[in-house]
Amino acid sequence: MLLYSVFFVLLGFIGLYFGAKFLVIALENIAQRLGVSHLLVGLTILAIGTSLPEISVSIMGGLDKLFGIDPNVDGIVIGNKIGSFLTQITLILGILGLSQSIFVSKWVLRREGTMLFLSVFIFLLCAIDGVITRLDAIIMVVIYFLYLLIIIKSEKKLERLRSKIETSEREGIDPDCFETVESPFKTSSTKKDTGFLIIGFLILIVGAEVTIIGAHSIAKELSIPESVIGILVVGIGTSLPELISDLTAIRRKSFGIAIGDILGSNICDILLATGAGSLIINFKVDPILILFDIPMLFIAIAFAFYFLWTEKTLKKWEAAFLVSYYGFYVLLKLSFFQM
């Protein structure tokens, strides 16, 4: 029975990956036509696109709870958001840093790094009473879209600096971030992009539901809290699109997209993805998440921010430290802090 549950989860991950991939392809093609820059694509289009697995898990989890299909899905949904965030800021960022040197401007870190801390703090405030309500969800979603508006306004301001690259470099802005994104599909058309959007959306829905069913079964079979499965299993699975997208971006020397995706995707996961599901129905938050997992997340953000801030690069030993931190967190979680 456990093997069937694991198979379901893996099948769900495949659906989430390809569903998100089709959607991201369509969105990147549209971005190319609009002449959108690397940085804006990474922080908005790619960040939301690669966060679609987390968003779909939240929405389908909310619907499952609303209609009584799985009344105890709270742990998987909320655990997934924390697990995905921590996986990306430590394990995935570490893997990217070990694969190749990463450059990030201090200007990007000042803006997105600050919002990264703020998004987790907002999540903590909403969850500290043990439940994320519809009102909390509205606050999260509104704050996220206000953040997007600030990015767009900032992007327009930076576009006006195109002719002053020397000045922007002195201010710590990466000139490569202004380059427009190139779609990997040169023969893109509106009909093809629409088809990718529809197919990707349908695959995402099915993949999310299959993942939730499989994760719930694994938690039941192993007699462990669903929040643990949400953090350590579903959290890693829904982070796969970020890993693949960012590795591809780094190989193409598109550091603006890779770092923008990691930062923007985490902000999207914790605010928009959580809020999307909580708009449907309230989600309970296990006390252990507030007492252990969120503090560990704050520490992880602090380390990642410090490493990226110094010399504007992530060194190999720093990347290895982030990967080790994730391993240390998992060890503590399984040994002492399951519930």
Question: How many independent structural domains does the chain possess?
Answer: 1
Within the chain, where are the H helices? 2-34, 38-40, 46-50, 52-66, 74-86, 93-99, 106-108, 114-127, 134-159, 165-170, 190-222, 226-229, 235-237, 240-251, 255-267, 274-278, 287-288, 294-309, 316-336
Q: Taking the CA atoms of 116, 274, 84 and 261 in sequence, report the sign of the dihedral they define.
A: negative
Cα distance between residue 126 and residue 324, in whole Å: 30
The encoded tokens of residue 171 equal 């201010």
Q: Which residues form the domain of 24? A: 2-336
Segment (H or E) for 314:
strand 313-314
Alpha-carbon dihedral sign for residues 249, 115, 90, 214: negative
Are the C-beta atoms of 268 and 47 separated by less than 8 Å? yes
| 160 φ/ψ angles, rounded to the nearest 5 degrees | -70, -10
Would you state the pLDDT for residue 186?
A: 52
Q: How far apart are CA 123 and CA 283, in angstroms?
A: 13
The CATH number covering residue 8 comes to 1.20.1420.30
Judged by DSSP in three states, 180 sits in strand
The confidence score (pLDDT) of residue 18 equals 86
Greatest pairwise CA separation for the chain in angstroms: 63
Tokens found for residue 235: 């959290």
**Half-sphere exposure at residue 294, Cβ-oriented, CA atoms within 13 angstroms:** 22
Residues in the chain: 339
Angle, in degrees to the nearest 10, between helices 190-222 and 2-34: 150
In a structure prediction context, what are the per-residue pLDDT tens digits for the chain, which is 339 residues long? 788 888 888 998 898 888 877 877 777 776 676 666 655 665 566 667 778 889 999 999 999 999 998 888 999 999 999 999 999 999 999 998 898 877 777 777 888 888 999 999 999 999 999 999 999 999 999 999 999 888 778 766 766 665 555 444 445 555 544 454 454 545 567 778 778 878 888 888 888 889 998 998 998 888 889 999 999 999 988 887 778 777 777 776 666 667 777 888 899 999 999 999 999 999 999 999 999 999 999 999 999 999 988 877 888 999 999 999 999 999 999 998 887
How far is Cα 191 from Cα 165, in angstroms, rounded to an integer?
Answer: 38
